[in-house]
């Protein structure tokens, strides 16, 4: 596929320049369809040629590039070579392009793009992706939702590239707040409520106990006492805490399913707090832990030994902190899972925390800390539902479904659907995800339901609509056998645009995985959908004269078979959803 063509061009460049063809493979890019002024499909920029030394930097660049282009052979695959502004352009034989791409898509659809040699460095190995990670009894805020869908995207992407992926949910399930929650539950908790509305009830208890603790010393001491009981592993206290945790995990599992998200491990801070002592011992042995004047234990991160920057690992009362548990968790994961890379997904407010964590791991001599990455994202403002500010994940999903259902009723599409609720749920959730993935992850954005659920424009609704249309076209023509070897209908200009766009797929995947940002892939899908829409508009079948329909149908069918694979894999399975 793309690499077949890239290699053909690279071979020619190698021959003319006397360099290895591998040098040129990553330099040859597909020309983006939207920016296309010429009919070229691939190009190599003069700048990149300069870097390889294929074109010497001195003298008249334009002339040298032209001379290089002139020396290159034209053949049955590479039909035209021309020196254009800034680079050399290549036009591929349309039939060869159609044939190769279709062949690839039908023989190994799952390998399409992801097996490209451009992605060589990203294939294989083991990645641990930690994401979502809500806190028991606290709000599931927009940041947790973003972490859930971005982390899921990254895990799916890595998996699609052939990596072994371990998905970890690191719950906030330990710390003083569980003293408060336990003491609160002993005062005004209800087992019945806990069973019927677990997340709501724990949240209510937590809010109430915090309020009371503010003005009531006895509540504060009851909380401290409950936490001491937990730390002493006292059976009754531990059983209640264990119940909170278990019930929360079960509830989250159910809700994550609606998002197509799953985890291999539900770990959490509680798993590692007992390992913190050995971390501190090790830091001490290495001379990295210092006692401050305030009685806390700290690690100097300044690099100059002047404590201008440091991380606190032990409070003055001897208890460990969030970062101490994170150091323990990282060491434990490395030992248990032997990952090649570890990715943490949280909002950008935790950037310094992760910098410090990685710094400490490196200072402890762990080279693999170089392959730990924090994927940070910006804040979402104004995400609310009919119940007000978002507190529970399920409310967001319900809101997406009911608003989508409403929109569908108004546009009367739901009349044709067998299960409108289920469709509304899937479309609504895709819309939520696409809206989130369209911009750079680090930007903050204002949430607006109307914008999210628009049927037109660059939305998830539009993508799902295109996908449904393609699938129904394929279903309708399933009995008609269009020979795969006859690709002549695909030389139509609308089809060529789709083919040219598909040629870019592996480059887009590379950019996506290099940046760990969904945006390039989402934009690729949106452009694909726009190209399909143009093809459908310009190649009418319904209501057209029989002769026109007869010509247009096979073209549309072929476009559908090429694109539905991609939208299917990307939207439903591989990267965007489950």
What amino acid positions are annotated as catalytic residues? 138, 141, 144
Based on CB atoms, which residue is closest to ligand ARG, 344 or 377? Answer: 344
Pick out residues in 515-544 that bind ligand ARG (CB under 6 A).
none
Q: With contacts defined by CB under 6 A, how many residues of the chain interact with ligand ARG? A: 9
Stretch that binds ligand ARG, among 88-96, 133-141, 296-304, 446-454 (CB under 6 A): 133-141
326 binds ligand ARG (CB under 6 A): yes
Q: Does 344 bind ligand ARG (CB under 6 A)?
A: yes
**Stretch touching ligand ARG by CB under 6 A, among 128-136, 206-214, 473-481, 519-527:** 128-136
CA distance 281 to 73: 68
Contacts of 139 by beta carbon, 8 Å cutoff, 6+ apart:
203, 390, 391, 392
Q: Is 135 in the site for ligand ARG (CB under 6 A)?
A: yes
Tokens 């992605």 found at: 119
134/184 with CB nearer ligand ARG: 134
- Smallest distance, Å, CB 149 to ligand ARG? 15
d(CA 548, CA 559) in angstroms, rounded, equals: 17
Region from 35-43, 127-135, 217-225, 335-343 binding ligand ARG, contact rule CB under 6 A: 127-135
Q: What is the largest CA-CA distance in the chain?
A: 89
Rounded Cα distance, 190 and 156, in Å: 39
| Per-residue DSSP letter, 320 | B
Residue pair 400/393 in contact (Cβ under 8 Å)? The answer is no
Nearer Cβ to ligand ARG, position 130 or 436? Answer: 130
**Minimum distance of ligand ARG from residue 28's CB (angstroms):** 40
212, 216, 219, 225: CA torsion to nearest 10: 140
Nearer to ligand ARG, 151 or 182 (CB): 151
Give the nearest distance from C-beta 309 to ligand ARG in angstroms.
19
- Rounded Cα–Cα distance for residues 452 and 152 (Å): 20
Provide the sign of the torsion angle of the four alpha carbons 25, 27, 28, 32, taken in this order: positive
Which one of the spans 22-30, 132-140, 273-281, 465-473 is the region binding ligand ARG (CB under 6 A)?
132-140
How does 144-182 read in b/e, with b if 16+ C-beta sit within 10 Å? bbbbbbbbbbbbbbbbbbebebbbbbbbbbbbebbbbbb
Question: Is 170 among the residues that bind ligand ARG (CB under 6 A)?
Answer: yes
Binds ligand ARG (CB under 6 A): choice among 93, 104, 133, 156: 133
Q: Does the protein bind ligand ARG through residue 178 (CB under 6 A)? A: no
Shortest CA distance to 428 belongs to which of 390, 397, 385? 397
Q: Is 492 exposed, middle or buried (0-12, 13-18, 19+ CB in 10 A)?
A: buried
Nearest approach in angstroms of CB 566 to ligand ARG is 33
- CB of 477 vs ligand ARG, minimal distance in Å: 49
Q: Can residue 175 be called a binding residue for ligand ARG (CB under 6 A)?
A: no
* Nearest-approach distance from CB 329 to ligand ARG, in angstroms: 6
346 scored as a contact of ligand ARG (CB under 6 A): yes
The span from the CA of 534 to the CA of 432, in Å, is: 25
Task: Please check whether residue 362 is in contact with residue 392, taking contact to mean a CB–CB distance below 8 angstroms.
Answer: no
Binding positions for ligand ARG, rule: CB under 6 A: 130, 133-135, 170, 172, 326, 344, 346
């Amino acid at each position: 596929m793309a690499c077949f063509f890239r290699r053909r061009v690279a071979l020619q460049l190698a021959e003319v320049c006397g360099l290895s063809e591998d040098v040129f493979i990553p330099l040859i890019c597909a020309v983006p369809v939207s920016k296309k002024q010429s009919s070229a499909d691939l190009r190599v920029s003069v700048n990149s040629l300069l870097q390889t030394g294929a074109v010497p930097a001195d003298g008249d660049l334009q002339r040298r590039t032209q001379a290089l282009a002139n020396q290159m052979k034209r053949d049955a695959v590479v039909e035209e070579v021309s020196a254009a502004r800034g680079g050399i352009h290549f036009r591929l034989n349309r039939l060869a392009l159609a044939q190769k791409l279709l062949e690839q898509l039908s023989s190994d659809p799952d390998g399409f793009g992801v097996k490209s040699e451009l992605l060589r460095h990203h294939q294989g190995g083991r990645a641990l992706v930690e994401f979502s990670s809500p806190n028991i009894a606290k709000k599931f805020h927009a940041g947790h939702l973003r972490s859930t869908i971005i982390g899921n995207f990254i895990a799916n992407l890595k998996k699609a590239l052939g990596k072994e992926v371990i998905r970890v949910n690191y719950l906030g399930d330990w710390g003083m707040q569980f003293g408060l929650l336990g003491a609160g539950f002993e005062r005004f908790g209800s087992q019945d409520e806990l069973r019927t509305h677990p997340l709501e009830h724990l949240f209510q208890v937590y809010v109430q106990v915090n309020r009371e603790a503010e003005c009531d010393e006895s509540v504060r001491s009851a909380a401290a006492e409950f936490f001491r009981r937990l730390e002493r592993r006292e059976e009754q206290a531990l059983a209640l805490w264990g119940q909170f945790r278990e019930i929360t995990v079960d509830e989250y599992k159910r809700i994550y399913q609606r998002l197509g998200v799953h985890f291999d491990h539900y770990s959490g801070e509680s798993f590692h707090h007992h390992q913190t002592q050995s971390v501190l011992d090790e830091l001490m042995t290495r001379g990295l832990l210092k006692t401050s004047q305030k009685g806390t234990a700290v690690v100097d991160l300044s690099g100059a030994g002047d404590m201008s920057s440091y991380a606190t690992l032990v409070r003055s009362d001897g208890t460990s902190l969030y970062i101490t548990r994170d150091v323990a968790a990282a060491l434990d994961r490395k030992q248990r899972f032997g990952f090649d890379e570890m990715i943490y997904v949280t909002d950008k407010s935790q950037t310094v925390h992760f910098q410090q964590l990685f710094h400490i791991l490196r200072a402890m001599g762990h080279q693999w800390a170089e392959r730990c990455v924090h994927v940070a994202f910006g804040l979402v403002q104004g995400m609310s539902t009919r119940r007000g500010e978002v507190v529970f994940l399920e409310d967001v999903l319900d809101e997406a479904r009911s608003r989508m259902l409403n929109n569908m009723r108004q546009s009367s599409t739901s009349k044709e659907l067998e299960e409108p609720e289920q469709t509304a749920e899937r479309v609504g959730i895709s819309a939520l995800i696409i809206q989130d993935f369209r911009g750079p992850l680090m930007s903050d954005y204002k949430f607006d339901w109307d914008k999210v659920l628009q049927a037109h424009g660059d939305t998830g609704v539009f993508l799902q609509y295109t996908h449904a249309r393609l699938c129904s076209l394929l279903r309708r023509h399933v009995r008609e056998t269009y020979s795969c070897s006859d690709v002549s209908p695909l030389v139509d200009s609308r089809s060529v645009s789709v083919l040219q766009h598909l040629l870019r797929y592996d480059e887009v995947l590379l950019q996506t995985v290099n940046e760990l940002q969904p945006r390039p892939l989402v934009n690729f899908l949106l452009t694909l959908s726009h190209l399909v829409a143009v093809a459908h508009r310009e190649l009418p079948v319904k209501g057209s004269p029989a002769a026109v329909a007869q010509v247009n149908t096979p073209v549309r069918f072929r476009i559908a078979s090429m694109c539905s694979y991609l939208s299917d894999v990307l939207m439903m399975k591989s990267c965007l959803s489950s």
